């Protein structure tokens, strides 16, 4: 793990350099954000040649420690205008790490109309290959790349949304079965498209392993983590059986489930899109449907599923809570089959289902089509794929859609759509959406897990809670951990410290671990301030402070002055 | 405290067991008892280990095990869950 690989799309060159000293000890989000902070000049156009797209495995990437090989993707976001990191499972993080690549830095921009595949073979066989075929969707692209390069590869790619530079576009990573995994948020797929980079193909680093400084201690701690993950009630059985959809019914019950463009906090038909309904559908239909699948080699949580159609054939993998919330209840859909189909199409376009679900909800609120109109929604999504003028409006996300249509309730913070928790009834998330440099992003600090200890409807304690959660997320993202692994890791942070020390031969204590997170949050905040986003941007849209959300009829009433103290760590 | 089904009850409560708490059992139950009771007592009667409870929601509000249930209350009991 010693090298940065720089790809200059303007000069069509690929170079390798030792990781500069200032980035030693960083990985994942810590590394992507630091590189973006130091190398992207202030005022750069997010879709211009001076922005950089950085892809980096976490510090533990490729080691085989459970749930720790996520790939962080970072850049200046075309959606928020600020710094952005999004991460995904799949095989790319582990492959890059085992290949000795600490980060890929994509710079410059290809000549107009030119698209490339970056091939990263073993033994520094790096090639930038001009694309000579048309790309209509992610699934076909995965197939084409497997036909060309074989199955011993990992793929990072952009879909039609990304190549058309739409702000809902994701960077997509292949999992062990070449199903797509999404570094979904912030429009980072559009940055990839703006560079003219269609895909990165990484040859399997077969025979290449990361060698820990203290191998026996690393293996011992990894085994301990596996045991704790399997024993923990949050990470053991529930995820295997229900995946992330386990929470759908509870989120609706406590009144923060996005419903019909965030006009309600509970969905009267939630039972039909609940985790239980999804589990039962998979069981009853059988066929190719299943739950308990893993998206990363070595992960013991296994939260993924394959949704079967009525004929038992796979419709989509993997249907998650956020998609159920944003493309389901938020768009008035109560059929799992409908939502699975919409999920498949969004995946194929390479778009974030959160941003698209929010944009579609806004479009429905704005009268473009009725809530729950499947045929109309599918038609709109095809317009996104084809990049028609209306398709471009929707594909550029909830804010642009709402502004074009004159819709009053636009569920965004810093230009990015709210994920599956209405901040008026889960106020800790409202603090995170408001203050995080990442914009409205539940993965930056999700208060749902603390609902029993901090009343989600009250303002008391929410800033301190968000501070704690944002710090934890920053650390997990830097190590490459999936946030679902957090219960045992946060109960005993020395597990993370032990893994790092035994891998790198460091002598860090837990205070050093949290310092990494503090420094990262402050750096990301500084980037946004530098780009002109002052404290006045750390707010939710006014309507969410005024319009009560049924059934609790609460508004987001956190004091901005109090939220401004979110990064007071002392 | 006894929980009776269909007797001369004063207190009627509907209970939903969420996710793995239900197992293969019926998720939805209607229960009756003679007087208000705390959630912890309800768990004893339903033979549910409080250690398995990650969340108690009564009439859409998050509550704890000491919360006293009243006639007509709607209770959702969930195991430990974390957000996506």
Q: Each residue's pLDDT tens digit in chain A (570 positions)?
A: 589 999 999 999 999 999 999 999 999 999 999 999 999 999 999 999 999 999 999 999 999 999 999 999 999 999 999 999 999 999 999 999 999 999 999 999 999 999 999 999 998 999 999 998 888 999 999 999 999 999 999 999 999 999 999 999 999 999 999 999 999 999 999 999 999 999 999 999 999 999 999 999 999 999 999 999 999 887 888 899 999 999 999 999 999 999 999 999 999 999 999 999 999 999 999 999 999 999 999 999 999 999 999 999 999 999 999 999 999 999 999 999 999 999 999 999 999 999 999 999 999 999 999 999 999 999 999 999 999 999 999 999 999 999 999 999 999 999 999 999 999 999 999 999 999 999 999 999 999 988 888 999 999 999 999 999 999 999 999 999 999 999 999 999 999 999 999 999 999 999 999 999 999 999 999 999 999 999 999 999 999 999 999 999 999 999 999 999 999 997
Backbone angles phi, psi at A505, to 5 degrees: 75, 25
Chain A residues touching B81 at Cβ < 8 A? 234, 238, 246-247, 250, 449
Partner B contacted by A458 (CB < 8 A) = no
The DSSP element (H or E) to which A31 belongs, if any, is: helix A28-39
Partner A contacted by B64 (CB < 8 A) = yes
Q: How far apart, in whole angstroms, are the C-alpha atoms of residue A373 and residue A333?
A: 8
Query: Within A396-551, where are the H helices?
Result: 398-405, 427-435, 462-479, 486-491, 494-504, 510-530, 543-546
A443 → chain B, closest CA residue: B84
Partner residue facing A234 (CB), from B18, B27, B81: B81
Q: How far apart, in whole angstroms, are the C-alpha atoms of residue A308 and residue A289?
A: 5
Query: Within A232-332, where are the H helices?
Result: 237-242, 248-253, 275-285, 321-323
B81 → chain A, closest CA residue: A234
B21 min Cα distance to partner chain A (Å): 10
The CA angle A268-A273-A276, to the nearest 5 degrees, is 115
Q: How far apart are the first and last CA of chain B?
A: 39
From chain A residues 302-361, the ones with a CB under 8 A of any chain B CB are: 320-322
Range A123-156 burial, b when 16+ CB lie within 10 A, else e: eeebebeebeeebebbeebbeebbeebeeebbbb
CB-CB under 8 Å, A247 with B81: yes
Partner B contacted by A422 (CB < 8 A) = no
Chain B residues touching A554 at Cβ < 8 A? none
Q: How far apart, in whole angstroms, are the C-alpha atoms of residue A243 and residue A3?
A: 36
The DSSP element (H or E) to which B78 belongs, if any, is: strand B74-78
Backbone angles phi, psi at A3, to 5 degrees: -125, 150
Partner A contacted by B25 (CB < 8 A) = no
Partner B contacted by A89 (CB < 8 A) = no
Backbone angles phi, psi at A484, to 5 degrees: -70, -15
Query: Within A150-185, where are the H helices?
Result: 160-163
Among residues A346, A344, A318, A325, the alpha carbon closest in space to that of A239 is found at: A318
What pLDDT score does A40 carry?
Answer: 98
What pLDDT score does A452 carry?
Answer: 82
Residues in chain A, how many? 570
Cβ atoms within 10 A of the Cβ of B61, count? 15
Partner B contacted by A490 (CB < 8 A) = no
Partner B contacted by A441 (CB < 8 A) = no
Q: How many CB pairs under 8 A join A and B?
A: 78
Query: Residue B36: is its pLDDT beyond 50?
Result: yes
All domains of chain B in start order, with CATH? 2-79 (3.10.20.30)
Give the bridge partners for A88, in sequence order: A71
pLDDT band at B10 (very low <50, low <70, confident <90, very high): confident
A320 min Cα distance to partner chain B (Å): 8
B36 min Cα distance to partner chain A (Å): 22
Q: How far apart, in whole angstroms, are the C-alpha atoms of residue B58 and residue A353?
A: 32
CB-CB under 8 Å, B81 with A321: no
ipTM, two decimals = 0.88
Partner B contacted by A421 (CB < 8 A) = yes
What is the distance, to the nearest Å, from the Cα of residue A120 to the centroid of all Cα atoms in its chain? 24
Partner residue facing B84 (CB), from A241, A321, A456: A321
What pLDDT score does A453 carry?
Answer: 87
From chain A residues 251-270, the ones with a CB under 8 A of any chain B CB are: 253-255, 266
CB-CB under 8 Å, A254 with B83: no
What pLDDT score does B9 carry?
Answer: 60
pLDDT band at B1 (very low <50, low <70, confident <90, very high): very low
Q: How far apart, in whole angstroms, are the C-alpha atoms of residue A382 and residue A345?
A: 8
CB-CB under 8 Å, A254 with B60: yes
Greatest Cα pair distance, chain A, in angstroms, is 62
The DSSP element (H or E) to which A342 belongs, if any, is: helix A336-349
pTM value is: 0.97
What pLDDT score does B84 carry?
Answer: 64
Partner A contacted by B61 (CB < 8 A) = yes
Partner residue facing B60 (CB), from A321, A451, A551: A551
DSSP state of A481: -
């Amino acid at each position: 793990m010693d090298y940065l690989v720089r790809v200059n799309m303007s000069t069509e060159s690929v170079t390798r350099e030792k990781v500069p000293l200032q980035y030693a000890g960083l990985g994942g989000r810590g590394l992507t954000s630091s590189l973006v902070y130091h190398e992207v000049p202030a005022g750069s156009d997010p879709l211009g040649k001076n922005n950089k797209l950085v892809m980096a495995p976490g510090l533990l990437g490729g080691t085989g420690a459970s749930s720790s090989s996520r790939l962080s993707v970072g850049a200046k976001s075309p959606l928020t205008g600020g710094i952005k990191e999004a991460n995904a499972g799949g095989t790319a993080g582990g492959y890059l790490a085992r290949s000795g690549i600490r980060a890929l830095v994509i710079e410059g921009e290809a000549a107009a109309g030119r698209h490339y595949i970056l091939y990263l073979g073993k033994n520094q066989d790096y090639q930038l290959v001009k694309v000579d075929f048309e790309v209509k969707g992610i699934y076909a692209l995965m197939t084409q790349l497997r036909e060309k390069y074989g199955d011993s590869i990992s793929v990072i790619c952009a879909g039609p949304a990304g190549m058309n530079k739409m702000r809902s576009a994701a960077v997509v990573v292949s999992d062990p079965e070449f199903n797509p995994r999404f570094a979904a948020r912030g429009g980072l797929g559009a940055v990839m498209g703006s560079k003219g980079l269609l895909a990165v193909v990484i040859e399997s680093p077969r025979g290449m392993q990361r060698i820990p400084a203290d191998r026996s201690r690393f293996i011992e701690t990894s085994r301990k983590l596996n045991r704790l993950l399997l024993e923990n009630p949050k990470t053991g059985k529930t995820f295997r059986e229900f995946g992330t959809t386990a929470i759908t019914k509870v989120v609706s019950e406590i009144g923060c489930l996005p419903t019909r463009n965030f006009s309600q906090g509970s969905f009267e038909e939630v039972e039909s899109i609940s985790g239980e309904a999804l589990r039962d559908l998979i069981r009853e239909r059988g066929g190719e449907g299943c739950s308990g699948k893993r998206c990363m080699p070595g992960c013991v949580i296994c939260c993924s599923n394959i949704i079967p159609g009525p004929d038992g054939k796979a419709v989509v993998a993997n249907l998650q809570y956020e998609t159920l919330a944003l493309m389901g209840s938020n768009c008035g859909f109560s059929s799992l089959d409908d939502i699975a189909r919409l999920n498949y199409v969004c995946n194929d376009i390479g778009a974030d289902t959160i941003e698209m679900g929010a944009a579609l909800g806004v479009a429905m609120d704005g009268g473009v089509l009725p809530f729950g109109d499947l045929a109309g929604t599918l038609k709109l999504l095809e317009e996104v794929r084809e990049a028609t003028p209306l398709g471009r409006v929707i594909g550029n996300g909830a804010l642009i859609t709402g502004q074009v249509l004159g819709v009053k309730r636009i569920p965004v913070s810093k230009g990015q759509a709210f994920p599956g928790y209405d901040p008026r009834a889960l106020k800790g998330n409202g603090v995170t959406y408001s203050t995080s440099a990442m914009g409205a992003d539940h993965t930056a600090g999700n208060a749902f897990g603390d609902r029993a200890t901090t009343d989600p409807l009250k303002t008391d304690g929410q800033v301190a809670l968000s501070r704690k959660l944002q710090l934890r997320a920053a650390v997990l993202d830097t190590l490459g951990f999936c946030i679902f692994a957090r219960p045992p890791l946060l109960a005993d942070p020395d597990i993370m410290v032990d893994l790092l020390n035994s891998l790198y031969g460091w002598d860090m204590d837990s205070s050093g671990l949290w310092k990494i997170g503090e420094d990262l949050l402050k750096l990301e905040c500084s980037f946004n301030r530098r780009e002109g986003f002052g404290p006045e941007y750390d707010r939710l849209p006014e309507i969410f402070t005024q319009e009560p959300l049924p059934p609790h009829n609460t508004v987001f009433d956190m004091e901005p002055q109090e939220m401004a103290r979110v990064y007071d760590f002392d | 405290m006894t929980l009776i089904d269909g007797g001369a009850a004063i207190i009627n409560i509907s209970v939903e067991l969420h996710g793995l708490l239900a197992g293969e059992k019926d998720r939805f139950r209607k229960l009756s008892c003679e007087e208000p009771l705390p959630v912890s007592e309800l768990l004893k009667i339903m033979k549910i280990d409080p250690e398995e409870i990650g969340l108690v929601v009564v009439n859409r509000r998050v509550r704890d095990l000491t919360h006293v249930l009243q006639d007509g209350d709607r209770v959702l009991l969930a195991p430990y869950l974390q957000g996506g």
